[in-house]
Chains A and B, each alone.
Chain A
Amino acid sequence: MSWLSLIFGEKKSTASVAKERLQLIIARERAGLAGPDFLPDLQKDLVAVISKYVPVNPDDIKVGLEKQGNYEVIEVNIVLPDTGRPV
């Protein structure tokens, strides 16, 4: 608050910590609540399609919803099995 704190550096105000925490949790809860219920089905279908070409484990495909600014982004993460040889 004073020139002393300017010199010695100041801890972040607790209010700004509160705001950051709320931004994160509110974004997550909004995504969760408005969250489309099709994600599990999408994941299942993706597993089925990809399995036609590459053997994958259902757990190796992760489907998630992320919020970036005003956009919602569906993120699909596929870990291909390490076969030790080029596919």
Chain B
Amino acid sequence: MSTIVTVTSGKGGVGKTTTSASIATGLALRGFKTAVIDFDVGLRNLDLIMGCERRVVYDFVNVIQGDANLSQALIKDKHTDNLFVLPASQTRDKDALTEAGVEAVLKELQHQGFEYIVCDSPAGIEHGAIMALTFADEAIIVTNPEVSSVRDSDRILGILQSKSRRAVEGREPVKEHLLVTRYSPKRAHEGEMLTYTDIQELLRIPLLGVTPESDAVLHASNQGVPAILQKDTPVAEAYLDAVARFLGETRPLRFVEYEKPGLIKRLFGGK
């Protein structure tokens, strides 16, 4: 059996693709055969974040339309074993992603023995986003500590609870996880930013993790390496923790408390 994990947020630019790449990589690092699918038809970017953009020959829509088979379209990740990327198509025809087509591809991945299928949702609540969440077993809601992101997350939760297959068929609901990204402990401490507990209180779903605002994310995307592989950076550690919690382990939250810089740090500078 494979588990379908949808990474979604409603709002754009909050870190869905960064998170999809990192969570998928994290699951593969744990030895699970994992596929990560880009649902953002027309605006594909997962390939760039994963660093496989030059190896894209066939895409998701090609497979749905029968122009290629799944094995031809799946790109084996060069950083991590057990990990495969299914890129989105750059076609402008958004309706190319049919429900039956998506279902068939997911079934085929399941058939090929994939244990986790991570669906990277596009922003918004249009067709692509709906297709990405329709078949979800679990969902990671990526939220920034900022009003518009929190509101949109709540909206997408409502859609998940009404439009997913699990909801429509009255099965056990999609398991929801909150991931707060781009968090600044200092600003939260100073009352300039919603705290992660504020966000959790507002959205009322279990917290999967908090990843700090970090320069490492841009470095990672510049190079086409998932952020979780930026060794020894807080953001990579936070993603590793999130993956561990996703798999049922208990890990204390890190990088969420603000530590006042000591005297020496203040005198001699430093970040």
Q: Which residues on A are within 8 Å of B, measured CB to CB?
A: 1, 13-16, 18-19, 21-23, 25-26, 29-30, 33-34
A13 touches which one: B146, B151, B154, B191 (CB < 8 A)? B191
Q: How many residue pairs between the two chains, A and B, have CB atoms under 8 Å in the bound complex?
A: 40
Chain B residues with a Cβ under 8 A of chain A: 146-147, 150-151, 154-155, 158, 188, 190-195, 198, 202
Interface of B is mostly: helix
Inter-chain contacts of B188 with A (CB < 8 A) = 15
Question: Contacting A19 at CB < 8 Å: which of B154, B158, B194?
Answer: B194
Q: Are B150 and A22 in contact (CB under 8 A)?
A: yes
Given A13-B192, A15-B193, A18-B147, are A29 and B155 neighbors across the interface (CB < 8 Å)? Answer: yes
Instruction: Check A26 against B191 for contact (C-beta < 8 Å).
Output: no
| Chain B residues in 8 Å Cβ range of A16 | 191
Residues of B within 8 A of A25 (CB): 151
Given known contacts A22-B151, A26-B202, A15 and B195 CB-to-CB distance under 8 angstroms: yes
> Which A residues touch B198, using CB under 8 A?
15, 19
- A23-B202, A26-B202 known; A18-B194 Cβ under 8 A: yes
Asked if A29 contacts B154 (CB within 8 A), the reply is: yes
Question: Interface on chain A toward B: helix, strand, loop, or mixed SS?
Answer: helix
> Across the interface, which residues of A come within 8 angstroms of B150, CB to CB?
22, 26
Partner of A30, one of B154, B190, B193: B154
CB atoms of B191 and A21 under 8 A apart: no
CA–CA, A19 to B194, complex, Å? Answer: 7
Q: Pick the contact of A34: B155, B158, B191, B194 (CB < 8 A).
A: B158
Chain A positions within 8 Å of B190 at CB level: 1, 13
State the CA gap A18–B148 with chains docked (Å). 10
B146, B150, B191, B193: residue with the most chain A Cβ atoms closer than 10 Å: B191
* A19-B192 CB under 8 A given contacts A29-B154, A30-B154, A30-B158: no
Residues from chain B with Cβ under 8 Å of A30 in the complex: 154, 158
